[in-house]
Structure 1
């Protein structure tokens, strides 16, 4: 029986050392693996958090755009009213085309005489929009009614929680209500369409790497109403959430990774590290076990030999056998110890993490090379002399002692045990040179396998400097513009609100400056967006030098900037800063080899006389900025109440222009161009006119600048070009006239890269020969970028069309450039022709232009000829042609056709023709 019991005990004694090696090295391998896995997961989560934050920022900008749109619509209603339902639909239809997730835009009049909280309303609806006429907004339920009451009470935009649409039980829509005039505007949004088009912008669903869930957590965060959810499997460990305020509600956007994206499973390199550690551990265990087994076998042989020799010399044999056994056992033990020590040293030297082993009192016994590199100390100066507390700041130690109730090394152990149950212990470790290193620290006890006592502690520290830098970068991107590094719109509102609170407390004024760079679009169109970005960075750098340290310079977006002047000393202070900014931008910028000069238009609003809210001050400064543009740009204007009316009138005119293009309210008048020598028609100039049904004939000086700024001049100009070509071809077909028709080009049309393609398509569509079309460009336009102009004009000449320069003499043309450009005709501006009879200087300028054109073999046409005396002088100077009231006023199509028929009849009968002088 004893023999049977003794067998397992002997076997355990043989492998006891191997088990110890297996436990110690296996524990070290697992610690290294866990630390590497934590670093991998930190990096994956930082990448996922950055990507999710960028998507959510896109959603936030789209929501801000919807709110800006509704505020603009409310402002329009305040100034101009809604008009008829058809007019209201005409205004809102383009908005719904641009934002397809908007299912309806509604205006409702509020009857304040009604009792209770019910509001009888009437609707002005967009075409096909829900709800049907005759419905009431308060029929939507108490949630919509509450939002209406808040919007009317506070005069700002309020949103409802998610509501069900009439054709679905799913809460797939919200309502935005804003006070406007005597009522409210309501915008109906499809939430799924909004989220899908914003978060992914048409991206292939198979290419998405994360899914989003949006909930409304305004009222009860624990029972938030779901707004939108992607179809995705549950059970992912990684998630990122961000709150998005929207129309006095608080949305929570939650991002989770799609399957096979941002996975937290161990990467192959981490797994290989684990497998390598265990392989080394098992190899060391097998070596130790083999040595112990071999020792036992040898001992058995010695015992058998000793038994055989015992018969002759038992005492001597027993002594020799015992001595030999002890010697061999000691040799084997020493060899196993050397091998174990070598393996441990290899692991410690190859690890990428700082590894410290201490005894029970905390004195460091092992300090690996990674720890020397990370903490800046030598092992010889640390081992046996110091504890890990030497690398921890005194303030952090005091805080750990206060939280744990322990002191010294025990406080560190207690804190590590508490943190490892939830989050790793993160500290800024102090290097020997005084520099601080952020680190993630794990502390584990080393337990004696035989007695179960703690023999020391293993500390593993990982440098998390890169992770901390990524977190700091993400926080910076949330509040600063990535291009100029100026505060963005979000941080601007925060700082402006704080400045307003301080101003209200100290009873000090405050100024908001709204800056817009004049004609910045031309830089992007001519030199590219990289040059535009470089110019914006250079401009923002000069802005910083024009204000004090306590002031704020922020970028609103595009080429718009906001300057907040706190602790304002008076209006003169705001005037001084605005003048300093204008002066700072006067110096040219060297951008990609080009010397560029940019000018600002600045609007100024003062607290408290121009408003006491952040949004109101920005709005009024914006209105003043538009007035500065109307005053010729490159100046500043203080806000006046009439500016809001001017902005509304401009918006109304822009809406009428859009309607005029759709309703075909434009007309083309034609003015003849006559040869000075013979009186024959040599061309016609097409002139745009607008006959508004309500206001009659609108002056081009009134509506053309608005069309230019809004971009409507591009489709309007294309319509003029097509109409003039079609009519000229009709006169050619009727054999009434066969001369070129001249069409003016605006700067916006000239900047369109599809200009020549559009011209070619219109010529092909109308059948007009290219040589019967003349494009007129102003002198300032062609000299804006001579190199690009030369390329475009050369391409036009290859197409076969004629090129003329309008208003010549008013700009800054260079004869060298005029010689390079393929120009067919110069048109002398009417300002030089009007007084050539009485002003010798004007006569000399006109005569010089004619002589110069003859030298360059270019035809000359004089504009604004109204008297016979002017015509005689032009004949003497050999001016090729003229146009003006002396020959004919601009005529509508039917009158010009009648004139041409009369000229043809007179020619056939041999009578004197109209227009001969």
Structure 2
């Protein structure tokens, strides 16, 4: 049923049905159709059924209410009222219709009627008295009783009293008839009081107050009319007064099916005061009428005095309850005041403690900056007692720029309330201390509690010092204290952008310390750092005050020369630098000599960008390093084109390696005595699709610098091993040696020996046929590491050859240390064996050294027959060069191998 009643269509249907039923039945009461028995039957059935239906509807409504317990209980009381009254009406109708006699008074029907009155009064009181505390509930109840008694007083002196006096019915019936109107007056009063309090906003309820109050009002009026008619003997069932009862319960039924409304929000105190004064309005009116009406009618009932006495008692009780409520309210207010006072005092003490112990100094000044107040923390923060500052101007402790800034800040914010400004000032104390202070200035001149400008001052000296240190670290080298790359770039840009009256040259010198890596590797990084510090000191001492020197990283330095008239002045600076670096640097009792490769680039102000000028000096420095003569190199535009060419060649080389464009050519090696082909040297070649055959001396250095040499070397090694195995199958009787050049970077790899082992294993080449060739400088670059790698290589069975022997260290000690098998005499010595002034002493010494150490000797670069004769005479065992043939692809060498193999077979056959 609850779910059904929640639908708007069902509710509308029930309302319409109730209204139609009421109109039909009410018309029957008024018109009086049929006999007296029919009227009694119609009245009893209509009233009892309507009351019971409205009671069930109220209970159904109570079931649907879940969120508000007070509203749910009120609906239960209203439903109980309707059901009790309906049962009482049913009993009264039973007497009249079934037993066909008047209902006795009192009777069982009165039990239902009286119970209905009690339930209805209780339900209305729950609506009228919503206050949460007991005293307020009792006071509100007394208010309702006062209003009820006042209305009863008027009713008594005007109607009830005279009627009771004239009526001839029994005392019991009179008492009963007096209870009904008295209860009805109370109900009418409560209903009116409820509507008034609801309209005033004092009572908040989700109930349909107005329809329920209207139903109670109609019910009470009908009950009063019934009591009067009963006293005068004019009431019969089906009387028009029954339409009032029917209308009251019909209205209650409609209220039960109406949608629930939202609670009203309580308004201001004026309506509430009206609600408090409302009982007195009723009392004044009732008292006046109780005096006027008897004077007019000439009647004076004793009951009037009793009612007036009861009214006075209720007024006294109300005052007592009001006094008690006011006393409780006063105690609560006093408690709140005490608690709030303690809270404010605690907050004040907390605020004072925070201000006094804060790291900030809180001060108050007037518009001119005169100090009115300053917190005690000023002594802890700045070391000055507060009384020494009060009365003085805050600006007097600042330097001149800070004084001006503070005055301007005070003037700017004084015109705008709550305006703030933040500024940093430098405070100079009498003892000479200079403290950086950050001030937050706030205009509180319009605040009645302050009426000053508030300064929050904070000592930021440590923060400013830290910031300065961080800035210095960001733009200076931590080791030498010189400017770093970022600061140097900024200085160069500034120099190239500034305005000058006449032509002025800006020069940049790039320095790189020669041999610094060897110092670092051999003596350690601590010694290298000490060397850098000493070099930085020397460079600074030989420069002008206006020049800027920077350490760019590692052993690279840069110098900015400003204000020069010509570029020659930069050359003079380079000369002074070389002079400063000539003397030995003494570190830990050891004399170290260092030299710098210097590149110079200069340009007039505004002609080139700073980046371009620095790049030009860098290019010149690389040229100076290549010359290795200790002289500075001046930038030439051709250096840039060479760099661009080198970069292009590097990119193309990377592509060639990735696309497998490189090839391996082989240069044969012959035995000088027999002319037998005994080996080849594998040489990498780059047939460029546009440049043609690129010379190795162009792309091998690039490969060394970019790291591509590892991949190229691996490619050559594997190609040579597989090709050597092919030739070994072609000529098993005359095995050939396969020589492969090894760079210094390859030898430094820890896994190089494993890489060689994998190439031999994959190709199947005998390890004794592989000869790894390396220069003396490669072996001596990192002797210890080279020794470990060479031993690992010898363990695999390969042989080691020293390439270009005689041009490097040529020390007998390293020949004894390293496991060398072959010496290859450099072509520069072979060239001296031809011509009119032929010299053979050096070659003879190398050959004799090889014989002494039981090493094979191979002469390189033989181009003339005379050189061949001389080498054969000197005892050199093998040779290679253009005289025998240029490096050629593997197919060409394969043909030589097959020819030699055929000749060997022919010589082996009998004649």
| TM-score normalized with structure 1 length | 0.52
Counterpart residue number, 2:382:
375
Counterpart residue number, 1:322:
none
Distance in 2 of aligned mates of 1:864 and 1:739: 20
2:597 to 600, 609, 615: 600
**Kindly tell me: are residues 446 and 692 of structure 1, through their superposed partners in 2, closer, same or farther at Cα, counting changes over 3 Å?**
closer
Counterpart residue number, 2:663:
667
1:890 to 859, 877, 887: 887
Distance in 2 of aligned mates of 1:589 and 1:802: 43
Distance in 1 of aligned mates of 2:781 and 2:862: 29
1:909 aligns with 2:892: no
Q: Residue 659 of structure 1: CA displacement?
A: 4.3
**Kindly tell me: are residues 511 and 424 of structure 1, through their superposed partners in 2, closer, same or farther at Cα, counting changes over 3 Å?**
closer
1:818-870 residue CA offsets vs partner (Å, 9 max, x unmatched): 32222222222222233347899953333333444444454433323456765
2:511·2:596 contact (CA, 8 Å) conserved in 1? no
Give 3-state SS (helix, strand or coil) of 1:650's partner: helix
Spell out the pairing of 1:474-873 with structure 2 (5 A cutoff). Answer: 475-476=471-472, 479=475, 487=483, 491-502=487-498, 504-515=500-511, 543-554=539-550, 562-582=558-578, 597=594, 599-607=596-604, 611-625=607-621, 627-628=623-624, 631=627, 634-676=630-672, 680-735=676-731, 737-752=734-749, 754-836=751-833, 842-865=839-862
Q: Residue 5 of structure 1: CA displacement?
A: 10
Counterpart residue number, 2:170:
none
**Kindly tell me: are residues 478 and 383 of structure 1, through their superposed partners in 2, closer, same or farther at Cα, counting changes over 3 Å?**
closer
Q: Residue 676 of structure 1: CA displacement?
A: 5.0
**Kindly tell me: are residues 590 and 763 of structure 1, through their superposed partners in 2, closer, same or farther at Cα, counting changes over 3 Å?**
farther
Q: Residue 500 of structure 1: CA displacement?
A: 3.1
Distance in 1 of aligned mates of 2:455 and 2:420: 18
**Kindly tell me: are residues 696 and 572 of structure 1, through their superposed partners in 2, closer, same or farther at Cα, counting changes over 3 Å?**
same
2:672·2:877 contact (CA, 8 Å) conserved in 1? yes
Distance in 2 of aligned mates of 1:463 and 1:852: 80
Q: Residue 742 of structure 1: CA displacement?
A: 1.3
Distance in 1 of aligned mates of 2:341 and 2:812: 99
**Kindly tell me: are residues 761 and 594 of structure 1, through their superposed partners in 2, closer, same or farther at Cα, counting changes over 3 Å?**
farther
1:835·1:842 contact (CA, 8 Å) conserved in 2? yes
1:26 aligns with 2:334: no
**Kindly tell me: are residues 636 and 386 of structure 1, through their superposed partners in 2, closer, same or farther at Cα, counting changes over 3 Å?**
same
Q: Residue 493 of structure 1: CA displacement?
A: 4.8
Counterpart residue number, 1:396:
402
Distance in 2 of aligned mates of 1:445 and 1:14: 34
1:376·1:433 contact (CA, 8 Å) conserved in 2? no
2:421·2:442 contact (CA, 8 Å) conserved in 1? no
**Kindly tell me: are residues 565 and 739 of structure 1, through their superposed partners in 2, closer, same or farther at Cα, counting changes over 3 Å?**
same
**Kindly tell me: are residues 705 and 366 of structure 1, through their superposed partners in 2, closer, same or farther at Cα, counting changes over 3 Å?**
closer
Counterpart residue number, 1:326:
none
Give 3-state SS (helix, strand or coil) of 1:657's partner: helix
Give 3-state SS (helix, strand or coil) of 2:563's partner: coil
**Kindly tell me: are residues 655 and 362 of structure 1, through their superposed partners in 2, closer, same or farther at Cα, counting changes over 3 Å?**
closer
Q: Residue 781 of structure 1: CA displacement?
A: 2.2
* RMSD over aligned Cα atoms: 5.0
**Kindly tell me: are residues 427 and 661 of structure 1, through their superposed partners in 2, closer, same or farther at Cα, counting changes over 3 Å?**
same
Gaps of 5+ in 2: 1-322
1:420·1:442 contact (CA, 8 Å) conserved in 2? no
Distance in 2 of aligned mates of 1:358 and 1:606: 59
Spell out the pairing of 1:119-518 with structure 2 (5 A cutoff). Answer: 351=357, 353=359, 362=371, 367=376, 374-376=381-383, 392-393=398-399, 395-405=401-411, 422=420, 426-430=424-428, 433-440=431-438, 462-473=458-469, 475-476=471-472, 479=475, 487=483, 491-502=487-498, 504-515=500-511
Distance in 1 of aligned mates of 2:875 and 2:889: 31
**Kindly tell me: are residues 911 and 590 of structure 1, through their superposed partners in 2, closer, same or farther at Cα, counting changes over 3 Å?**
farther
**Kindly tell me: are residues 867 and 403 of structure 1, through their superposed partners in 2, closer, same or farther at Cα, counting changes over 3 Å?**
closer
Q: Residue 872 of structure 1: CA displacement?
A: 6.3
**Kindly tell me: are residues 599 and 508 of structure 1, through their superposed partners in 2, closer, same or farther at Cα, counting changes over 3 Å?**
closer
Distance in 1 of aligned mates of 2:859 and 2:334: 122
2:599·2:619 contact (CA, 8 Å) conserved in 1? no
2:678·2:736 contact (CA, 8 Å) conserved in 1? yes
Distance in 1 of aligned mates of 2:336 and 2:703: 96
1:575-605 residue CA offsets vs partner (Å, 9 max, x unmatched): 1223344555667778999968564251423
Q: Residue 728 of structure 1: CA displacement?
A: 0.8
Give 3-state SS (helix, strand or coil) of 1:505's partner: coil
Spell out the pairing of 1:90-101 with structure 2 (5 A cutoff). Answer: none
Give 3-state SS (helix, strand or coil) of 1:567's partner: strand
Gaps of 5+ in 1: 33-347, 407-413, 913-917
Distance in 2 of aligned mates of 1:404 and 1:458: 10
Distance in 2 of aligned mates of 1:887 and 1:591: 55
Moved more, 479-488 or 599-608: 479-488
Distance in 1 of aligned mates of 2:853 and 2:486: 58
1:512·1:565 contact (CA, 8 Å) conserved in 2? yes
**Kindly tell me: are residues 534 and 661 of structure 1, through their superposed partners in 2, closer, same or farther at Cα, counting changes over 3 Å?**
farther
Distance in 1 of aligned mates of 2:362 and 2:539: 52
Give 3-state SS (helix, strand or coil) of 2:841's partner: helix
Give 3-state SS (helix, strand or coil) of 2:820's partner: coil
Distance in 2 of aligned mates of 1:551 and 1:510: 10
Distance in 2 of aligned mates of 1:698 and 1:874: 32
**Kindly tell me: are residues 528 and 792 of structure 1, through their superposed partners in 2, closer, same or farther at Cα, counting changes over 3 Å?**
farther
2:538·2:581 contact (CA, 8 Å) conserved in 1? yes
**Kindly tell me: are residues 387 and 702 of structure 1, through their superposed partners in 2, closer, same or farther at Cα, counting changes over 3 Å?**
closer
**Kindly tell me: are residues 755 and 555 of structure 1, through their superposed partners in 2, closer, same or farther at Cα, counting changes over 3 Å?**
farther
**Kindly tell me: are residues 443 and 574 of structure 1, through their superposed partners in 2, closer, same or farther at Cα, counting changes over 3 Å?**
closer
Counterpart residue number, 1:345:
none
1:486·1:555 contact (CA, 8 Å) conserved in 2? yes
1:363·1:387 contact (CA, 8 Å) conserved in 2? no
Give 3-state SS (helix, strand or coil) of 2:697's partner: helix
Q: Higher helix proportion, which one?
A: 2
Q: Could you say which structure has the larger radius of gyration? A: 2
1:673-724 residue CA offsets vs partner (Å, 9 max, x unmatched): 3445665544321123333344443433344334444444343333222221
Counterpart residue number, 1:209:
none
Q: Higher strand proportion, which one?
A: 1
**Kindly tell me: are residues 901 and 571 of structure 1, through their superposed partners in 2, closer, same or farther at Cα, counting changes over 3 Å?**
same
Give 3-state SS (helix, strand or coil) of 1:833's partner: helix
Q: Residue 524 of structure 1: CA displacement?
A: 9.1
1:670·1:687 contact (CA, 8 Å) conserved in 2? yes
Distance in 1 of aligned mates of 2:544 and 2:688: 51
